[in-house]
Structure 1
Amino acid sequence: MSKTFQVGAGNKVKLYVALLPLGDRTEPEDVSITAASGITSAATSVTVTALTGAIAGGTPLTFDNGTDTLTVYLTADALIGATTIAIEPATAALTGSSTAEYVAKLRLLGGTQLSAKLNSDRADVLVFEDVLGYKDGAITGQSWELPWTANLLSSDEAFRRVFFAASNAVSGREVYVWQQDPPPAGYAVGDGLKGATVVMNLDKSLTSTAICTVTFSLMGQGSPTITRYSLV
């Protein structure tokens, strides 16, 4: 029996993004962070318990001490096992111990269209004459591309990840992306692609005082990882 289309709010393409540490193209994971002591105003580093996963530079972390919160931005990659993270000067102080949750897979909202493009480079290989006129060849490379257009708030955190990567592309900053098609009826997740990409041709226009329109392409090299529709 063929699957039927799902109708309703879930019938949408979904795109999730995470910044990658420099030189690391492995799939990011969520990380819980604990700062045992307070964060002083203008501090440029925070002492934390040993990290169980890597967090890319440019990523914001919001620390919560149970009463107040403070958002800081990493200025350098924080690697597995690190006990100190480098941050932009803290805009305020946060007393006592606090915790932060790094969510790697953050959904990019406001998308209005998406297509997936898979490309292959082919080199002709010289062969003896074929009476039917065929040529032989070899695939020498592959790439894939996810063009995206969205209307969203410029403060959207997932968009800020993409914008940071685009602004720092020359330093090698890449984005890990998870793309999901609309799922068949009865399923929660559709087919999709995932892998490391660079942000290409980002265009941001402010069409109102609150909403901006952005277009860009996420370009991956090699073969993407294919994901299949599932219940969760």
Structure 2
Amino acid sequence: MSKTFQVGAGNKVKLYVALLPLGDRTEPEDVSITASSGITSAATSVTVTALDGPIAGGTPLTFDNGTAKLTVYLAKDAKAGATTLTIEPASATLTGSSTAEYVAKLRLLGGTQLNANINAERADVLVFEDPLGFKDGAITSQSWELPWTANLLTTDEAFRRVFYAASQAVSGREVYVWQEDAPPAGFAKGDGLEGACVVMNAQKNLQSVGILTFTTTFQGQGSPKITRYSLT
């Protein structure tokens, strides 16, 4: 079986996701990580050089010492400048110094459908009588959502980010998403939306060994950030 899920020619809409540190809704950035010493089996912390950016708890990180790799999961948020990562107990040993790359913008593969919904709630304000029956009003709140369905491998790291956020929603865990429409002819990137979201109504259905169908809705509050189509 392929270790990655192939994206078909009909999948024109792109969706990327990153876990957010608790209480932080700013756009995440990539972080390079260097562990100065080995990671022992069942270890719950990793000593690293000072991080140049934050990484959210629940994020899987794969350390590579040049001959072997080990994936660990952050047990809590790591702040910029931190020199120790708190992790879930390591499943194996990785000797010597190693490095890991935290890629913030990780694409969700295998998507079969995606649409964007932007909602607004309006309160009527009775200011004057209108002979045609119109009312004045004020927008009191706004929200947006991105429904998403995909068939993908259970090992997909982007999916594991989303599933973690869904399971930890009551603690305030959110994700940051980037959505891109199909680009116009001659352009590399289409219009899109981005922003912080809660993972709502997550449903996982195991179709066969190692492959699942996952359905969820990313729901954001306020106005999403709009991105425009571009050549790059």
Do both proteins adopt the same fold according to a TM-score greater than 0.5, normalized to the shorter chain?
yes
Residue identity in the other structure for 2:137: G
Deviation at 1:30, TM superposition (A): 0.4
- Alignment RMSD: 1.2
Map 1:75-114 → 2, pairs under 5 A? 75-114=75-114
User: What whole-Å deviation, never above 9, does each CA across 1:91-131 have from its counterpart, x for those lacking one?
Assistant: 11111111000000010011110110000010000112111
Show structure 1 runs of 4+ deviating over 3 A.
8-11
Residue identity in the other structure for 2:229: Y
Structure 1 contact 10–182 (Cα < 8 Å) conserved? no
Deviation at 1:209, TM superposition (A): 2.1
User: What whole-Å deviation, never above 9, does each CA across 1:137-170 have from its counterpart, x for those lacking one?
Assistant: 0001100000011111121111111100000000
Structure 2 contact 11–112 (Cα < 8 Å) conserved? no
Aligned residue for 2:75, secondary structure, equals coil
Distance in 2 of aligned mates of 1:166 and 1:11:
24
Map 1:159-174 → 2, pairs under 5 A? 159-174=159-174
Deviation at 1:210, TM superposition (A): 3.1
Q: Which residue of the partner structure matches residue 16 of structure 1?
A: 16
Distance in 2 of aligned mates of 1:208 and 1:96:
38
Percent identical among aligned pairs is: 80
Q: Which residue of the partner structure matches residue 219 of structure 2?
A: 219
Q: Which residue of the partner structure matches residue 5 of structure 2?
A: none
Q: Which residue of the partner structure matches residue 133 of structure 2?
A: 133
TM-score normalised by L of structure 2: 0.94
Residue identity in the other structure for 1:192: G
| 1:156 pairs with 2:117 | no
Residue identity in the other structure for 2:145: E
Q: Which residue of the partner structure matches residue 40 of structure 2?
A: 40
Distance in 1 of aligned mates of 2:204 and 2:94:
34
User: What whole-Å deviation, never above 9, does each CA across 1:78-101 have from its counterpart, x for those lacking one?
Assistant: 011101010011111111111000
| 1:27 pairs with 2:27 | yes
| 1:187 pairs with 2:168 | no
Structure 2 contact 54–80 (Cα < 8 Å) conserved? yes
Structure 1 contact 70–94 (Cα < 8 Å) conserved? yes
> Closer, same or farther in 2 for the Cα pair 1:39/1:45, shift >3 Å?
same
Aligned residue for 1:207, secondary structure, equals strand
User: What whole-Å deviation, never above 9, does each CA across 1:150-207 have from its counterpart, x for those lacking one?
Assistant: 1111211111111000000000000100000000111111100000000110111112
Aligned residue for 1:163, secondary structure, equals helix
Q: Say how many residue pairs are matched.
A: 225
Aligned residue for 2:79, secondary structure, equals coil
Q: Which residue of the partner structure matches residue 3 of structure 1?
A: none
Deviation at 1:11, TM superposition (A): 6.4
Structure 1 contact 11–183 (Cα < 8 Å) conserved? no
Distance in 2 of aligned mates of 1:155 and 1:91:
16
